[in-house]
Amino acid sequence: MKDDDVLTSLFSVFLLTAFFSIGGGSALIPEFHRQIVDIHGFMDGPHFAKAVALAQVAPGPNMMLVSLIGWQVAGLPGLLVTTFAIVVPPSLLAYAVWRGMERVQDHPLLKIIKSALGPVVIGLTLASGIITAQAADHDAVGWALTIATAGLMTFTKRNPLWAIGAGAIVGIIAYRMGFMTLV
Amino acid sequence: MDSSQPSSAHKSVSLFDLFTGFLLVGLQGFGGISNSSHYIIVEKRRWLTPREFVELFGVCSILPGGNFLNGSIMIGARYQGPIGSIVSISSLLLMPVVILVGIAVSYEHFSYLPDVRAATAGAASAAAGLIVATATKLMRGVIWSVVPVLMAAGTFVLIGTLRAPLWMVVVIFVPLSIGLTLLGRKRS
């Protein structure tokens, strides 16, 4: 595939996703996975899972996973194209809504839409976790790490970097002891 | 500082203030920027009162895009118009993107080492668990009855199991959930 074609499809994938992007970066992972891995084959599953992990290590908005995908698929032009596509359309809408904010802010419908979106975003985020786990976990060690992290982090407000660090250490130990094969 | 403070509308916030403020929100936002944005915007800089913060992000949470990215657009607009929006969102994204690329490049450089690959694989498994934990934490904020359970389960099956595209959720479950919630309110 020519470079221009890659950039064009990256742009259209993330532009379209931007309009349907409810629930923020973490809820969108299944759609990114579907487009980037399943449909276009820009990355394979394990690569995608590593990108998700690297994006969790860096500080900043969860949406930056999109920038990293762009970078890994097509370098700096890829990063600029994907970031622009996912950030700019919602920003224009947010600006327009800001101008009519007084009318929106106290509207009774706002509360209803918020409580109606809650369960949908939860369903999406849970699907994100499962799809990321299927891409990341290749053996019992991987699944045990995912389940342990999910369980422990549900009941603590600890910084998520701790979980990532612990996962990395367990990964090294499991590999050295021969429990884990590298993909 | 408390919520009895009526408004922060009198405050003047310069473009430079927006730049440094959102730069810090980005830099300190480990695991997403919900905590760091509250810390900088409400507690340190006092650009918004706690109440204004909740209201602003309430509106952002129903708009497409990242909640806090949209929030930076609105806060920038509030103090410095469209230029303020551009400065706010750019400074919010700048450092995280630079750091992320730095991490990705160092990973590519050292990924020939088996230990690095093992560590990344372990970190990826833990990251998947973190996302599951985000969902379970969100579950606490919902009053669960038949309709929310059906909406969450339906969305999960459609996306997680059937691997359907995201627009189907927006077309099917979002209007369905809003309609059923409205219906429930009217009956009670």
pTM (predicted TM-score): 0.88
Under an 8 A CB cutoff, do A112 and B149 touch? no
Could you tell me if A167 and B123 are in contact, meaning their C-beta atoms sit under 8 angstroms apart? yes
Considering only CB atoms, which chain B residues are within 8 Å of A86?
Answer: 65
Q: What is the pLDDT of residues A53-110, one digit of tens each?
A: 888 888 888 899 999 999 999 999 999 999 999 999 999 999 999 988 877 777 888 8
Whether residue B1 has pLDDT greater than 50: no
Distance from B104 to chain A by nearest Cα, in Å? 7
Q: Is A28 on the interface with B (CB under 8 A)?
A: yes
Band (B30; pLDDT cuts 50, 70, 90): confident
Band of the pLDDT at B3, cuts 50, 70, 90?
very low
Which among B63, B138, B154 has the least Cβ separation from residue A97? B63
Residues of chain B contacting A142 with CB distance shorter than 8 Å: 121-122, 125
B79, B134, B168, B171, best to mutate vs chain A, most A CBs in 10 Å: B134
Residues A110 and A53 in one domain: yes
Best residue in A36, A56, A161 for a mutation probing chain B (most B CBs within 10 Å)? A56
Instruction: Judge if A41 and A82 occupy the same domain.
Output: yes
CA angle B12, B17, B20 (to 5 degrees): 165
Total of domains in chain A: 2
Question: Are A61 and B66 an interchain contact pair (Cβ–Cβ within 8 Å)?
Answer: yes
CA B112 to chain centre: 34
DSSP state of A28: G
Give residue limits of the domains in chain B: 1-134, 144-188
* pLDDT tier for residue B94 given thresholds of 50, 70 and 90: very high
Average pLDDT, rounded, for chain B: 89
**How high is the pLDDT of residue A2?**
62
Write down the pLDDT at residue B115. 94
- Please check whether residue A128 lies inside any domain of the structure: no
Q: Does residue A131 fall inside a structural domain?
A: no
Q: Are both A73 and A163 inside the same structural domain?
A: no
Task: Please indicate, yes or no, whether residues A85 and A175 belong to a single structural domain of this protein.
Answer: no
A84 domain residue, yes or no: yes
Residue-wise pLDDT for B111-127, tens only, equals 999 999 999 999 999 99
Q: Rounded to whole angstroms, how far apart are CA atoms A12 and A153?
A: 35
Find, in chain A, the residue whose alpha carbon is nearest to that of B98.
A58
In chain B, which residue's Cα lies nearest the Cα of A162? B126
User: Which residues, numbered 97 to 136 in chain A, qualify as contacts with chain B under a Cβ-Cβ cut-off of 8 Å?
Assistant: 97-99, 101, 104-105, 110, 112-133, 135-136
Please indicate if any CB of chain A lies within 8 Å of the CB of B98: no
Is residue A132 included in any domain, yes or no? no
Q: Give the count of Cβ contacts less than 8 A between chain A and B.
A: 384
Residue A44 main-chain phi, psi, to 5 deg? -95, 170
Phi, psi of A116 (to 5 degrees): -75, -35
* Residue A169 burial (10 A CB sphere; 0-12, 13-18, 19+): middle
| Closest CA in chain B for residue A33 | B163
How far is the alpha carbon of A10 from chain B, nearest alpha carbon, in Å?
Answer: 16
* Residues A54 and A107 reside in one and the same domain: yes
Answer yes or no: are the C-beta atoms of A17 and A86 closer than 8 Å.
yes
Q: Which two tokens stand for residue A102?
A: 């007084």
Q: Residue B53: list chain A partners with CB under 8 A.
A: none
pLDDT of residue B28: 87
Percent of chain B with pLDDT over 70: 95
SS3 A80: helix
On the question of pLDDT at B6 being above 80, the answer is no
Q: What pLDDT is attached to residue B2?
A: 43
Chain B 155-184, residues with CB within 8 Å of chain A CB atoms: 155-156, 159-160, 163, 165-167, 169-170, 173-174, 177-178, 180-182
Residues A12, A52, single domain; the answer is: yes
Average pLDDT on A144-163 reads 90
Whole-angstrom CA distances from B60 to A22, A180, B3, B34, B56 are 10, 43, 20, 12, 6
pLDDT number for residue A1: 56
Chain B residues with CB under 8 Å of A170 CB are: 122, 126
Q: How many CB atoms lie within 10 A of CB A124?
A: 29
Determine the structural domain holding residue A169 and report its residue range.
137-183
* Average pLDDT value for residue range B2-17: 70
Query: Domain boundary residue among A72, A89, A117?
Result: A117
Question: In this predicted model, what pLDDT tens digit does every residue of A18-62 receive, in sequence order?
Answer: 988 888 888 899 999 999 999 999 999 989 998 998 888 888 888
- Residue B4, pLDDT > 80, answer no
| B93:A91 CB<8 A | no
* Shared domain check, A75 and A142: no
Whether residue A161 sits in one domain with residue A97: no
Q: How confident is the model at residue B33 (pLDDT cuts 50, 70, 90)?
A: confident
Reported ipTM: the value is: 0.89
- CA neighbor of B1 nearest in space, from B38, B44, B54, B62: B44
Q: Is residue A98 part of a domain?
A: yes
| Helices A140-154 and B114-139: angle between axes, nearest 10 degrees | 40
The SS3 assignment for A130 reads helix
Interface touch A127/B73, C-beta < 8 Å: no
Which residues from chain B sit within 8 angstroms of residue A132, using beta carbons? Answer: 124, 127-128, 131
